[in-house]
Each structure stands twice: as C-alpha cells, then as structure tokens.
Amino acid sequence: GAVVSQHPSRVICKSGTSVKIECRSLDFQATTMFWYRQFPKQSLMLMATSNEGSKATYEQGVEKDKFLINHASLTLSTLTVTSAHPEDSSFYICSARGRETEAFFGQGTRLTVV
C-alpha cells in the first residue's frame, strides 16, 4: 500500500513553545490530507481537512490560529501547534488521500507539553 511518513514520532516541548509536525506522502500525490488527534482510549477526532494549495477547513471547536495547517505541495502537509500548553498533549495523526478513496495514515506523533 501507499506510504505516508509522519515526523517526528515523539516530541516533548516546553509550555509556550511551538511544535511543527510533518506529514509526507512518499509514493503518491496527496490531494487531500487530514489531521486527527486522539486522546487515550478515545476515537480519532478530525481536526481539519486540507486540500493542496488552499486553506484548511477546520472542524468546529478547533482553533485555527492555534493549530496552523499548511498544505503547500501534493506531498507535504504540516501541522504547527503554536504556544503549546499541557492540555495540547495528545497523539496527532495525519492521513493522506490521492485519487483513490482510501486514505493512508502516518505513524502518528506523540506530543507531550511540559
């Protein structure tokens, strides 16, 4: 199957700093990328959907100024958590979809804000 690479897999940052997470589709062009967060023992929560070259569409309740999403190319999307706080600690997962219906997931990023 197609490969989506997400980096970093784990990051620990200090409260108030910003963290950037990258999501790359390695062997296909991702016209749409999705960003999720997942708290322990809970379902994936869609944060935003981004299409290449256009602004991301954020789900209700997700602060777009706090979670900056850039989808500048067909193979790369980034999520930047700005001014991170301990409550932002979570598991962030990207997925990418090309022409086919199936979306492929990155490995996820475990963010811990201390």
Partner 1 sequence: GQNIDQPTEMTATEGAIVQINCTYQTSGFNGLFWYQQHAGEAPTFLSYNVLDGLEEKGRFSSFLSRSKGYSYLLLKELQMKDSASYLCAPMDSNYQLIWGAGTKLIIKP
Instruction: Specify the 3-state DSSP secondary structure of 70.
Output: strand
**CA gyration radius, the chain:** 13
Minimum distance of partner 1 from residue 14's CB (angstroms): 23
Closer by beta carbon to partner 1, 15 or else 112:
112
Q: Of 37, 36, 44, whose CA–CA distance to 87 is shortest?
A: 37
Q: How far is the CB of 25 from partner 1 (least distance, A)?
A: 14
Q: Check residue 63 and report its DSSP letter.
A: -
Give the residue with the Cβ less far from partner 1, 6 or 78: 6
Q: Are residues 74 and 31 in contact, defined by beta-carbon separation less than 8 angstroms?
A: yes
CB of 45 to partner 1, least distance (A): 8
CB contact at 8 A, 84 and 16: yes
Q: Interface residues with partner 1 (CB under 8 A)?
A: 1, 6, 32, 34, 41-46, 49, 91, 93, 97, 101-108, 110
**Residue closer to partner 1, measured from CB, 28 or 104:** 104
Nearer to partner 1, 89 or 105 (CB): 105
